[in-house]
Structure 1
Amino acid sequence: MASTLYISNAVNRYSHAADISSTSHVAFGSTKVVSFWDTSTGGDLGVGRTLPGHDGVITVVRFLNDSSVVTGDNKGVLRVWQKSTDETTAQA
């Protein structure tokens, strides 16, 4: 049986590649991966989830609401990520 002990990512050099939701969730670009961090835990748990899906470096991240986030990369691709009851999905 496998389990996750720790997930860690670095933030891109783009200051606008991060955003925070009204429910204290942070989304940020980490090269080609979107990372999520729940700050309500006091930061003790670090990055809680990562989502691959971009071929370029993520340059912008914005929450549309508490369950949707849009990301864009340096190749001009925008993705809308929607949280569902089971998992987070992306639409190009």
Structure 2
Amino acid sequence: MPPYDPARLFDLLRQRLQLHSDKALAKALQIAPPLLARLRHRGLPVSGSLLLRIQDVSGIAVDELRRVLGDRRRRMRLAIGLRMPG
């Protein structure tokens, strides 16, 4: 498996979606451009919920997205802002 590299994932998305800039990619993913920049440069990890959004926008399966990203986590956590009872 390739090493963790979010830039590789975002480059693939720009190519597949035929977008010419990260600003256009951020708009397609409905995230702020500065957030995309932080994700691209490893300032923040790519969350499971973002991978699901990317799947919805691109049609690329989450397993393939994780492979391109170099994600080796066994479990994905969704950042949904709700606490589980207990």
Same fold (TM over 0.5): no
Query: Comparing both chains, which one has the higher relative contact order based on Cα–Cα distances under 8 Å and sequence gaps of 6 or more?
Result: 2
> Of Structure 1 and Structure 2, which has the larger fraction of its residues in helix?
2
Query: What TM-score, normalized to structure 1?
Result: 0.25
> Of Structure 1 and Structure 2, which has the larger fraction of its residues in strand?
1
Query: What TM-score, normalized to structure 2?
Result: 0.26
